[in-house]
Structure 1
Amino acid sequence: MAVPKVAIVGRPNVGKSSIFNWLSGKMISVVDPTAGVTRDRVTQLLFHEDRYFELIDTGGIGIVDSDDLSDDVENQIAIALREADAIVFVADGQMGVTPLDQEVSEQLRKIDRPKLLVVNKCESTRTDLELPNYFGLADAEVLQTSVKANRNRNELLESIVNLLPPASEFEYEEGTELSAEPEMKLAIVGRRNVGKSTFINALAETERMIVSEIAGTTRDSVDVRFELDDKAFIAIDTPGVRKKKSLANDVEFYGLVRAQKSIRRADVSLMFFDATKTISKVDKQLVEEIEKSYKPCIFVVNKWDRGLEEKMTSEKWAEYLIKTFASMRHVPIAFITAKDSKNIRKLINLAQSIFKQSRERVSTGLLNRVVEQAIDRNPPPMRRNKRPKIYYATQVATEPPTIVVKCNQPILFDPAWKRYFLGFLREELPFNEVPMKLYFRPRHDEEDAG
């Protein structure tokens, strides 16, 4: 790969994720006093002094994971170190050098890569006097930083750039491609342990995320770039969500918030269900969040191989979903087995199709011919002894397709008739499988959304 990679490593809770977010200029990794919050590799493409490089945040070396995922975390760190062109070794300037820092140091000495030792949390100049105590941790430049006090951020970026290998002839070209907007962003959403990370790994064709039978493995929302048919996409892997009253700590609360943000910034949401489990309250909360965002969505029934073993049929599952989510009848349904990469390409093609639908725009002439057909087939009923009248309609926006209907009095249109009307428009216009916004407006200034 032409763009060099820089891994941030160190023992737990020295501020690696804080430094990662600080250099990235935005909140990406979850930051929490709890040791071991970061488990997966989290990456961000940065550009400084005419150089592109990929910054990689990793879990704490030596962490005893509460869910017995220590080996998985260590494996992710090992992958990051193996791929890294340079290493940023972070220590805590307030705690002093610990035995675990020494262990990390010994591990890193065996790796022949350029290194930088960053002594973090140096908010006060009093910590400067302790700096010589850290010199033995690495045969490398030593730099003091403080995310809290915004100390030496630019110096840190410059030091990292100085560690990079000479720029290849393709670095700028590839960096520009990686920083370009992808074809589509997919939010991978679902309750815990439905196979979201397995799906991401299948897309990326690498052990990009930790995949485990333990529920709630992913704590960060992680963007994974992948390519299909020479087109670039972003898959946003979100933390598994459980009921709000069951949130055990701040880390899980952040996970819930990040799942909501991921839905909002994605182009299409893939709502995952486990073929062997019934629909839960958490599933309903997530679907409600997707519905509120007016995002195109696909219901993805994963672990379909197990569903077939239990004599389940796609017709039964489709009926179950439609019955549970009546207001989302337009949402297409896909059946996949992520661990075997079965039907994944079809799912991405379907996502592209509905994303395209959400960006369609129809002419006012076509729209009004369809409006006339809807009225001819089922005229709006009288209300308050008055006849509702539609004068014309026009599409005013896309993503979602948004239609304004000019009428005599919006209040005269019965809610049931509005649902019929919206369904008719969806069927007759190129918006079959995507959410739409429909507003009834009087010809003058009176406001009444439908």
Structure 2
Amino acid sequence: MSMPKVAIVGRPNVGKSSIFNWLAGRRIAIVDDYEGVTRDRMTTLIEHEGNFFELIDTGGMGVVDSDDLTADVEAQIEVAIATADVILFVVDIRTGLMPLDSLVAERLRSIDRPIVLLANKADHDNLDISAEEFHKLGRGHLICVSAEQKRHRDELMQLIVDRLPPSSDRAVDAHMKFAIVGRRNVGKSTFVNSLAQAKRMIVSEVAGTTRDSVDVNFELDGHQFTAIDTPGLRRRRSVRTDLDYYGMHRAQRSIRRADVSLMFFDASEKISKVDKQLVGYIADEYKPCVFVVNKWDLYHDEMPTERWVKYLRSQFPTMQYAPIAFITGQTGKNIKALLNHSQMLFKQARERTSTGRLNRIVQAAIEHQEPPMFQNRRPKIYYATQVSTEPPTIVLMCNDPKGFAPDYRRFLLSVLRDNLPFSEVPIKMYLQKREQRDPTAPPEVDQENERVS
């Protein structure tokens, strides 16, 4: 099961980032009275009474950004809402109900997931009566909180945990969906057409739930697949003045929907900025990925597979784990092998490992190479646990996350990748603070955590 997600949304300047920092137990997001300070999605791992979830901060809905980034901010908000299991709708009890609050509520009207309405800045009990007017919004359970005064944190955390989907609701589906992404003319359409021509395949084409994408459903050797075909993207001088700006967002939505991404390259073309943008987004979403070099047979003599592998590894150093496939879409060569490998990645992302095995691996890694000293003391890892799948997410409880240098974190991640059944898929690894006095005690609520991937 994947990690549950909780998104914080609302108009500008209601204290969303303050709520985020308050629940996280430390300052992560920038807090300021200026509208539009938060632009990108910020995420952190939260634990409450043994329940883990990912908390997401977003920019203000409806803000007009002075740097002309409004569309980017709105796109990030859309992603947060689309992927969240629970939504925290924040309003400001001091300013009262504002027209933009009603517009946010209207935008959430079609959301079929639990919503908690937070009347923030209720620093004193005598302000709570002012929250009654927010019932007019008709969105979610209302609770008065104060991030600044740390008021009603436990009650809010319990409301969130009670609304997280139970594990049974997040059970895995054996039907794999993969997104076909890449620039124009790299052979994506030819690849999709070859699916219909392959032996023992039953194919149907239907309109996808994502606008301007097409879902191709087919069966191969008894396994069900859905190929999400996306519009090709072209090189462009200015993404903001080109319709391909919207094509990029459609491709991003398809990547989020998919279990595995097939990133297509043309064997005759150099890797472009668009390619790097797409791969970057796949990495940001922690999606398993196969680099697919198409039209390989036509250019094999000019650039053999070994050179292509070296070239791809040099261009995408953070994706060294991603497998590389060489196909010919026109003839169908190696396509079945590509689908089988994609199925392997699909299964890897859903694998679980036992806590005992995980801790033995971590302990062996530490014995082989201790973390360097930090501020005259040795950083310690107390224990490790896998808290979710898709992507595999591992939490290392330690005395101080800051004590683990980036090089040592990468070392730990490489050890996990080499010894666990996740060798070709992205792994989330969190270093999370826990008091040393009782190694068997559960983690405290106000923790410090950092993510490594």
Counterpart of 2:356?
Answer: 365
Counterpart of 2:292?
Answer: 300
Q: CA 1:419/1:313 → structure 2, altered by over 3 Å: closer, same or farther? A: same
- Offset at residue 252 of structure 1 (A): 3.0
Counterpart of 2:419?
Answer: 428
- Offset at residue 208 of structure 1 (A): 8.6
Counterpart of 1:169?
Answer: none
- Offset at residue 243 of structure 1 (A): 4.4
- Offset at residue 309 of structure 1 (A): 3.9
Structure 2, unaligned stretches of length 5 or more? 1-172, 206-210, 435-443
- CA deviations 1:414-441 (Å, max 9, x no partner) are 0110011101101100000000000011
- CA deviations 1:288-327 (Å, max 9, x no partner) are 00000000000001101112142x2111111111111111
User: Counterparts of 1:294 and 1:344 in 2: how far apart (Å)?
Assistant: 24
8 Å Cα contact 1:183-1:232 kept in structure 2: yes
Counterpart of 1:389?
Answer: 380
8 Å Cα contact 1:395-1:401 kept in structure 2: yes
Q: Compute the TM-score of the two structures, normalised by the length of structure 1.
A: 0.55
2:285 maps to a residue whose letter is S
Counterpart of 2:450?
Answer: 449
Bigger radius of gyration among the two: 1
Correspondence list, 1:226-375, <5 A: 226-243=218-235, 245-247=237-239, 251-310=243-302, 312-375=303-366
Correspondence list, 1:185-196, <5 A: 185-196=177-188
User: Counterparts of 2:334 and 2:304 in 1: how far apart (Å)?
Assistant: 16
2:368 maps to a residue whose letter is R
User: Counterparts of 1:354 and 1:338 in 2: how far apart (Å)?
Assistant: 21
- Offset at residue 195 of structure 1 (A): 0.3
Residue 305 of structure 1 aligns to a residue whose secondary structure is: helix
8 Å Cα contact 2:345-2:424 kept in structure 1: yes
8 Å Cα contact 1:200-1:208 kept in structure 2: no
Counterpart of 2:430?
Answer: 439
Counterpart of 2:192?
Answer: 200
Q: CA 1:363/1:251 → structure 2, altered by over 3 Å: closer, same or farther? A: same
The reply on whether 1:220 has 2:221 as its aligned counterpart is no
Q: CA 1:342/1:361 → structure 2, altered by over 3 Å: closer, same or farther? A: same
User: Counterparts of 1:234 and 1:249 in 2: how far apart (Å)?
Assistant: 33
User: Counterparts of 2:321 and 2:309 in 1: how far apart (Å)?
Assistant: 12
Counterpart of 2:108?
Answer: none
User: Counterparts of 2:226 and 2:406 in 1: how far apart (Å)?
Assistant: 38
- Offset at residue 224 of structure 1 (A): 0.7
8 Å Cα contact 1:221-1:255 kept in structure 2: no
Residue 368 of structure 1 aligns to a residue whose secondary structure is: helix
8 Å Cα contact 2:179-2:230 kept in structure 1: yes
- Offset at residue 448 of structure 1 (A): 2.0
User: Counterparts of 1:388 and 1:417 in 2: how far apart (Å)?
Assistant: 11
User: Counterparts of 1:377 and 1:370 in 2: how far apart (Å)?
Assistant: 11
8 Å Cα contact 1:268-1:295 kept in structure 2: yes
User: Counterparts of 2:300 and 2:236 in 1: how far apart (Å)?
Assistant: 32
1:317 maps to a residue whose letter is W
8 Å Cα contact 2:236-2:242 kept in structure 1: no
- CA deviations 1:173-217 (Å, max 9, x no partner) are xxxxxxxx77200100111110001000001229999xxxxxxxx
Name the stretch that deviates more: 301-310 or 417-426.
301-310
Q: CA 1:241/1:382 → structure 2, altered by over 3 Å: closer, same or farther? A: same
- Offset at residue 371 of structure 1 (A): 0.2
8 Å Cα contact 2:204-2:218 kept in structure 1: no
Counterpart of 1:407?
Answer: 398
8 Å Cα contact 1:354-1:433 kept in structure 2: yes
Counterpart of 1:183?
Answer: 175
Counterpart of 2:12?
Answer: none
Correspondence list, 1:63-78, <5 A: none
Residue 450 of structure 2 aligns to a residue whose secondary structure is: coil
- Offset at residue 254 of structure 1 (A): 2.7
1:447 maps to a residue whose letter is E
User: Counterparts of 1:293 and 1:272 in 2: how far apart (Å)?
Assistant: 18
Counterpart of 1:212?
Answer: none
Q: Give aligned-pair identity as a percent.
A: 59
- Offset at residue 446 of structure 1 (A): 2.1
Residue 340 of structure 1 aligns to a residue whose secondary structure is: coil
Highest relative contact order (Cα 8 Å, sep 6+), 1 or 2?
2
User: Counterparts of 1:344 and 1:285 in 2: how far apart (Å)?
Assistant: 25
Residue 307 of structure 2 aligns to a residue whose secondary structure is: helix
8 Å Cα contact 1:204-1:225 kept in structure 2: no
- CA deviations 1:120-153 (Å, max 9, x no partner) are xxxxxxxxxxxxxxxxxxxxxxxxxxxxxxxxxx
User: Counterparts of 2:235 and 2:391 in 1: how far apart (Å)?
Assistant: 29
2:373 maps to a residue whose letter is M
Residue 228 of structure 2 aligns to a residue whose secondary structure is: strand
1:446 maps to a residue whose letter is Q
1:300 maps to a residue whose letter is V
8 Å Cα contact 2:204-2:217 kept in structure 1: no
User: Counterparts of 1:414 and 1:244 in 2: how far apart (Å)?
Assistant: 39
